[in-house]
Structure 1
Amino acid sequence: MNIIDLHCDALMKLQEAKGALRFADAKELHTNKKRLLAGQVKVQCFAIFIEPEVKGDQKFQVVLEQIDYFYKEVLGKNPDMVHIKEWSDFDRLKLGQIGAMLTLEGVDAIGNDLAKLHILYQLGVRSVGLTWNQANLAADGAGEPRGGGLTLFGKEIVEFNNEHQILTDVSHLSDKGIWDVIELAKYPIASHSNARALCNHPRNLTDEQARAMFMQGGLIHVVYHPLFIKESGAATIADLVKHIDHLCGLGGVKQIGFGSDFDGITTFVTGLEDASKSQSLINELLKHFKEEAVRGFAYENFLNHRPGTGR
């Protein structure tokens, strides 16, 4: 069964390796092409993420370096990897091809300059998360004790996203920031978050937030990181399925998807250690849900709610 994965950090690994890793088959990558094909991942979103210790004047340069690796290593050396730059490109993927879409995890690198975000849009970024865990000029992240929401600049970014049919990602935002995005964004999404009711972590969504996301036509893509699945002990695929079941109970059966966080995690769900194992999640879901619902979680819910579909 085809899968869309809304989040991985392979670009960070490629950039840090400085050309030493091949996207085609590097064993160091959880999301190399060989593993994506084995796991039937039809579309992979590639996050641009800058480590907090990178100095301000270097952040945008690192962003451009990661995009360069996307173009020359992911796309350039693999003709069957197809750039998703327009929302209609999903409909043109052929048998044997894998779609690849750029996303931005935190706007720290643009400072207070919307022109830089426009450059990233022109280069193919189609989903923007305002923060990682810390605060920046746009908003407070989930790890910022102050817990503030969007700044005026953050609201300008959401307006830019709305105008350009860019997804606004609430994963990593503070609670107040999440509510601000739900109120302001035309295309809200949580690219890699779970249910806080089942695992009490600030990176997960409360039931109230999840319901509001669904009411706004937003999507919630569950994340495979054990830290966000279970508060203690090893996490299993069955534990992850419980989050999907819980979110379905909040009205999200047609608005749930997957956001693995592969290449950004060092601990794993048992049986879900890299992209090649993705069908293990599908097989577990088929034990509990009708095939139509599982196809929705895997692929169709995102297609039906992407910008431009009139949702």
Structure 2
Amino acid sequence: MRTVDFHCDVLSKMWEDPRASFVDGPHLDVTMQRMEQGDLALQVFAVFLSEKFGRPSFERVLAQLDVYRSRIVNAGHLKPLLWREQVQEMRQRKTERYGVLSLEGVDGLEGNLYYVQLLFDMGVRLMGVTWNYANWAADGVLEHRNGGFTERGRQLIEQCHRTGIILDVSHLSQAGFWELAELTQGPVIASHSNAYSICPHPRNLSDEQIRALIALNGMIGITFVPWFIRSGVERVTPEDVLPHIEKICELGGEKHIMFGSDFDGIDQWIEGLEHPGRYPDFQELLLKFYPESMVKGWMSDHALRFLEQHLPSSPVQKDKCDA
């Protein structure tokens, strides 16, 4: 059963270590070897700028995009997914593996909205507004004042809609979430967040937020960050993920579930679900409790349907239609 994963941080690790091999790097969670082992059809690669390397800048955004281009795509490991028409191609070519680029926090855009179009042209299709704290566009989920969007941030929303970039609410403040839900002209995603009512971590989504994402026809990427799954325990198992799935289904979100592991963004793992190669074991667990059609939807079908509906159409296809 093929899998789609909507969030990993391998690009920042590879940028930090120029010797790290995407083929089989021993210090990486996500590698080509493990994607093949887990039969990942698609991996979303986040560009994340850690503040431990100084102030986020557009130069560092470009540096991680270059890691993706030169060490993953041009090396022949993955094909970039850019257009909705490619989703059907992906379904047909079951041995091909694809990548999508996401920006995790717009800090590195430095308030320059012209960079949004430039990133789109370079293959970015998803954009998280914040990491955990405030930036020029909005407040993150750990910012105590819980502010919403700045005026420039609201312009960013409009620019992403015009450009064709899908917005991601994981890490966004509560106030920002509800402001975006009101302002958005299209669906949004939470690429790597769980259910707050199951595990009360501020990065998880309340029942009301989950209902709102469902109403917006958005998607929720259940994540494998142990402390987003169970609090106050040393050992988290794959079985502990199930209550989060159950809660989202209970709220009407069965067809809005996908997975966003956060591999390479964590230094503790679910026992038995430490990297993409473990996805087949996780599928076997899910199949003990749910019908195959439902599990297949969560593993890939719902995410691919979403991308087929909401990625921009290829200019080549548009030209054919106009001809």
Equivalents in 2 of 1:74, 1:200: separation in Å?
37
When the two structures are superposed, what TM-score results if normalisation uses the length of structure 2? 0.92
Q: Which residue of 1 aligns with 2:169?
A: 170
1:59 aligns with 2:57: yes
Unaligned runs of 5+ in 2: 312-323
Q: Which residue of 2 aligns with 1:105?
A: 104
SS in 1 for 2:309: coil
Q: Which residue of 1 aligns with 2:32?
A: 33
Aligned-pair identity in percent equals 36
Alignment of 1:1-311 (within 5 A): 1-17=1-17, 19-56=18-55, 59-77=57-75, 79-93=76-90, 94-185=93-184, 186-233=186-233, 234-306=235-307, 308=309
Q: Which residue of 1 aligns with 2:314?
A: none
Return 231-240 or 219-228, whichever deviates more. 231-240
Equivalents in 2 of 1:3, 1:181: separation in Å?
29
Q: CA deviation at 1:139?
A: 0.5
SS in 2 for 1:308: helix
Q: CA deviation at 1:183?
A: 1.8
- Residue 166 of structure 1 contacts residue 187 of structure 1 at CA under 8 Å; is this kept in 2? no
Instruction: Give RMSD over aligned pairs.
Output: 1.4
SS in 2 for 1:204: coil
Equivalents in 2 of 1:73, 1:110: separation in Å?
23
Return 292-301 or 159-168, whichever deviates more. 159-168
Letter in 2 for 1:198: I
Equivalents in 2 of 1:71, 1:286: separation in Å?
36
Letter in 2 for 1:222: I
- Residue 187 of structure 1 contacts residue 307 of structure 1 at CA under 8 Å; is this kept in 2? no
Q: CA deviation at 1:27?
A: 1.5
Equivalents in 2 of 1:208, 1:171: separation in Å?
15
Equivalents in 2 of 1:226, 1:8: separation in Å?
15
SS in 2 for 1:6: strand
Equivalents in 2 of 1:159, 1:292: separation in Å?
37
Deviations along 1:226-257, whole A, 9 cap, x unmatched? 01000121111111121011101111000100
When the two structures are superposed, what TM-score results if normalisation uses the length of structure 1? 0.95
Letter in 2 for 1:254: K
SS in 2 for 1:5: strand
Return 242-251 or 46-55, whichever deviates more. 46-55
Q: CA deviation at 1:25?
A: 1.0
Equivalents in 1 of 2:151, 2:57: separation in Å?
22
- Residue 23 of structure 2 contacts residue 33 of structure 2 at CA under 8 Å; is this kept in 1? yes
- Residue 168 of structure 1 contacts residue 181 of structure 1 at CA under 8 Å; is this kept in 2? no
SS in 2 for 1:251: coil
Equivalents in 2 of 1:273, 1:214: separation in Å?
29
Give the total of aligned pairs: 307
Deviations along 1:149-198, whole A, 9 cap, x unmatched? 11122221221222233211000011111111222221200000000001
Letter in 2 for 1:252: G
Equivalents in 2 of 1:54, 1:184: separation in Å?
34
- Residue 84 of structure 1 contacts residue 100 of structure 1 at CA under 8 Å; is this kept in 2? yes
Equivalents in 1 of 2:123, 2:183: separation in Å?
23
